[in-house]
Amino acid sequence: MVSDLQNAQYAEQENAHTNNRETSPRLLVADDDVTALGELSELLTLSGFEVVQAPSGDKARELFSNEKPDLVITDILMPGLDGISLLKLIKEADDIIPVVMITGYGEMGTAIRALRLGAFDFLLKPINGEILISTVEKGLEHHRLKLLEKEYTHRLETQVESRTKELAKTNEFLRGILESSRRVSIVVTNLQRQILFWNSGAENIFGYSKEEILGQLVAKLYPANIDPNEVQNTLREALTNEFGAAQTVIKQISKNHEEVVLSLAISPMLDRKGKMTGVVGLGQDITEQFRLHEELVASYSRIRKIQGASIFALAQLAEARDGETGAHLKRIRQYCAVLCESIRKRPVYGPLMTSEFIEDLVQCSVLHDIGKIVIPDSILFKPGKYRNDEFEIMQEHALLGGKALSEAAKETGESQSYLSVGADVAYYHHERWDGSGYPFGLRELQIPLSARVVSLCDVYDALRSKRRYKDDFSHENSVKLIVEQRGKQFDPEIVDAFLDSLDGFEQIINDFDKNHAS
């Protein structure tokens, strides 16, 4: 029961937050246990966070709308509006706000359900201070990356729309010539490459008057690093096609030394006997469109980097719980890249190894053990052999990780995405070629190609790495063990591709050892 004095304190706190928003991250903490709420809030405040307290789920819902926090921490079991219901309301209002659930060991099933509903993470009671702060910091970083992704996505959509409009203008090229030749350069050169005709459009685009340019070599318009002979030979070859004309994009230089990008249509100028006497070039200035296109490509690249960083941060949550560092994940990505390129050169799976597939697989390979985030510490950190019941629980990480990523993939609205590849990897990387793996006992081509690739890479790195329960194996012994499992644990074709890329695998771990030692 919350006293009138405490209610008054909460009201005063709300007014203070409304009038004085701090620059530090704002956290909304909800717990009906006032003592636990105070202790948790004090710990977060001492760590530099601004904390808004809510003694109930209903109060948290009200404060969320008013305070707009950067992250929410809520107990699962609360009277009235419980933590799961609060999570659903928050995700409906703003699906990028991270929500961290507080739970006891007896509520693990509910905690897993919360993760499926979009919770960022969960904390077990009693709460460890270091884990709390680490989880909050990772959640805030995840929120920041999501905001950046949202911003870049919006910018990308805007630029795509702009680029589409500009392309539509380009399609009106010939009509534009008829409507206003001042917007299109019309340049005629003879076979000696001298400029014979220069219209007002060319004058507007390049800045040269007719008096300055007529009789000059067209190479005057080329950038210093461009070979005029190479350009002319390329254009001349283009004119010999069946259409007798060519369309290209070319960079040139204006009178004031600024780069101009032209969409250039060229055709031969023929005499009465059909003999070529010169070249007619019609150019439209697309410098601005070209700049927008380059920005569009750069934005897409940034978004992919943000996606990769988000995926890697998510994977590190599971990796950290397993007592590992991010080095394992970095090596897995590199192994996958090397192995995929080797497979690409071979006829069996080579056609499937598109650049997009390889990029998605390399990016999502780090998610193979994401399901370990919900495996109890007593099992995850057990040094000895698992009992049958413990091994069954450990096997669940493949199901939990695969399902979480599969549901995330559905949210994208695309039948195939990088998250779909990640789901396949998480679900099936413990399946074996001979059908003796888990969780489904799939065999041979029933196992997705992505999972078969990651499975071999994961085993190689596990063999080469020193763990709390084993010493590391040499490269030669690791290769021998993998070859012994050809046709048993591993796809024979992928093992053969692995053997073609042994130098790359060994170089990756040697470079890591060298960097780690320094």
Let me know if residue 296 belongs to a domain.
Answer: no
Res 19 pLDDT > 50: no
pLDDT per position as a tens digit, 190-223: 888 888 888 888 888 888 988 888 988 888 888 8
503: Cβ contacts below 8 Å, ≥ 6 apart: none
What phi-psi label fits residue 257: left (phi over 0), alpha (psi between -120 and 50 degrees) or beta?
left
Q: How many CB atoms lie within 10 A of CB 351?
A: 8
Identify the domain containing residue 110 by its residue range: 4-127
For residue 308, what pLDDT band results from cuts at 50, 70 and 90? low
Alpha helix positions (H), 34-128 = 34-46, 57-67, 83-93, 108-116
189 beta partners? 195, 279
- Strand 184-190 with 195-198, pairing: antiparallel
Other C-beta atoms closer than 10 Å to the C-beta of 370 total 27
Going 3 to 34 to 23 to 95, the CA torsion angle's sign is negative
Query: Domain for residue 148, yes or no?
Result: no
Same domain, 328 and 273: no
Q: Which of 259, 285, 311 is the last residue of a domain?
A: 285
CB 460 within 8 A of CB 504: no
The CATH number linked to 493 is 1.10.3210.10
Look at residue 19 and tell me if it is in a domain: yes
Look up residue 87 and give its two tokens.
């999570």
Residues 241 and 374 in one domain: no
446 and 352 within one domain: yes
The pLDDT of residue 494: 96
User: Are 394 and 480 within one domain?
Assistant: yes
Question: Do 14 and 75 sit in the same domain of this protein?
Answer: yes
Domain end (from 89, 108, 127): 127
CA angle 185, 186, 192 (to 5 degrees): 120
Nearest partner of 102 among 127, 135, 80, 82, judged by Cα: 127
Is residue 54 included in any domain, yes or no? yes
| Element (DSSP H or E) covering residue 475 | helix 475-484
Same domain, 472 and 333: yes
CATH number at residue 245: 3.30.450.20
SS3 278: strand
Structural tokens at position 421:
């590849």
Tell me what pLDDT residue 161 has. Answer: 78
Dist CA 46 CA 41 (whole Å): 9
- Same domain for 509 and 376: yes
Whichever domain contains 62, its CATH number is: 3.40.50.2300
SS3 464: helix
Q: What DSSP line would sit under 182-199, residue for residue? A: GGEEEEEEETT-BEEEE-
Q: Which of 87-96, 128-137, 413-422, 472-481 has the lowest mean pLDDT?
A: 413-422
Residue 162 within a domain: no
Task: Encode pLDDT of 323-351 as tens digits.
Answer: 555 688 889 989 999 999 999 999 999 99
Q: What confidence tens digit (pLDDT) does each residue in 374-424 have?
A: 777 777 777 777 778 887 888 888 888 888 888 877 876 665 667 888 889
Calculate the average pLDDT of the chain.
Answer: 81
The C-alpha torsion from 111 through 114 and 116 to 122, rounded to 10°, is -60
Residues 497 and 378 in one domain: yes
Contact between 343 and 504 under an 8 Å Cβ cutoff? The reply is no
Cis before 347? omega within 30: no
Residue 220 belongs to some domain of the structure? yes
* CA dist., res. 502 & res. 438, Å (int): 27
Same domain, 237 and 342: no
Query: In percent, how much of the chain has pLDDT > 70?
Result: 80
Query: Residue 251 above 90 pLDDT?
Result: no
Q: Judge contact between 315 and 196, C-beta under 8 A.
A: no
Is the same domain home to 15 and 95? yes
Q: What is the total residue count of the chain?
A: 518
Residue 201 sits in the same domain as residue 115: no
Whole-angstrom CA distances from 297 to 146, 251, 254, 290, 308 are 20, 18, 26, 11, 17
Q: What is the spatial distance between Cα 94 and Cα 38, in angstroms, rounded to a whole number?
A: 26
Residue 21's identity, in one-letter code, is: R
| Token output for 394 | 């450990």
Proportion of the chain in helix, strand, coil states, percent, rounded to 5: 60, 15, 25
- Please report, as a single letter, which amino acid is at residue 316: Q
Number of domain units in the chain: 3
